[in-house]
Amino acid sequence: MIESKTKTRRLRYTVERWPLVERFAIATHVYDALDVLYVEIEEDGHVGRGEAAGVDYLDDTPQRACLQAETVRERVERGLDREDLLLALPAGAARNAIDCALWDLQCKRSGDSIWSVLSIEPKPLPTVATIGIGSAAWMADKAVSLSNFDLLKLKLNADDPIGRVQAVRQARPDALLSVDVNTGWSLAELTRYAPLLAEQRVVLIEQPLLPDADHLLAVGASPVPLAADESCQTEADLARLFGRYKFVNIKLDKCGGLTAGLNLARRARDLGFEIMVGNMLGTSLAMAPAFALAAGATFVDLDGPLQLVRDRADPMTFASGRVQPPLRALWG
């Protein structure tokens, strides 16, 4: 595809740091603050914006993403489009932020909303609220503080996972519970814990094993459905996940943007997977394009801004366990 040399387009990017309300622990990492890649693409007085946190367990950091963004600066400024961006950069933070900025720029230039471009009806979506790893009592208190949310996701590791779930279940008998192990269990632990989680009415177990242990799984072997997160990065992963997971968790940081996310969701549905749309933490600017992907998903996990001390101007709002569609002033 020929790139236009007539457009006046500028690509700008920087790394921002956003402090968290409190330490956020998962099986493999503890976060105190979030670094993100922030991108602007300006053309003829219109500015499209994008944000990406990257995939830290793949060493895809915002700092590294800056280096990748620089490699395509000239092509983006000459008019590189989203389809060619898929070939110009690998999946990850740089492609995600630039791709989302291009979508936003298209909407700003045309005056069309992302909803009309994608033929989606914008309506509030029920979202997961995530609770990091802590003591059983702390997690139970946290669950009570999130009483407006019907669906809670509990981060777990191999340290007393059932005790933690039982404490939350006692505190919130009304809630739908899912758990996210972030590769923290062995097959023996999954086999032991899954029936006990079923007794606690847990509806989903996310990424119990390391990706290289996926071959040990089979759909139906666990009494609680399994979702692939770390195991599902791009479309290329779907074939080997079939027959092992019921759900795939699509995150724009992993697959590299809304364009790739839409393609991944379409292909996953064709193969019979159910969809979860998640996030790697982020401000409302990162959640907004993911919201566009989340229409029709079985599980929506877009609570990232709730973990932050502050958010962007014109933020997405959360009420009664639902996330509202983003304002056009924010994105799209």
Taking the CA atoms of 87, 262, 97 and 65 in sequence, report the sign of the dihedral they define. negative
Q: What is residue 135's predicted lDDT score, i.e. its pLDDT?
A: 97
Does pLDDT of 264 surpass 80? yes
pLDDT tens-digit readout, 55-90: 999 999 999 999 999 999 999 999 999 999 999 999
pLDDT tens-digit readout, 189-239: 999 999 999 999 999 999 999 999 999 998 667 999 999 999 999 999 999
Q: What is residue 296's predicted lDDT score, i.e. its pLDDT?
A: 87
Can you state the angle between helices 161-171 and 136-145, rounded to 10 degrees? 30
Domains of the chain: 9-118 (3.30.390.10), 125-323 (3.20.20.120)
The pTM (predicted TM-score) of the whole model is: 0.94
Please state the length of the chain. 332
Whole-angstrom Cα distance, residue 56 to residue 326? Answer: 26
Q: What is residue 8's predicted lDDT score, i.e. its pLDDT?
A: 85
Q: Hey, how many other C-beta atoms are within 10 angstroms of the C-beta on 216?
A: 14
pLDDT tens-digit readout, 93-107: 999 999 999 999 999
Average pLDDT over residues 113-135: 96
Whole-angstrom Cα distance, residue 90 to residue 239? Answer: 19
Whole-angstrom Cα distance, residue 84 to residue 67? Answer: 19
Q: What is residue 236's predicted lDDT score, i.e. its pLDDT?
A: 97
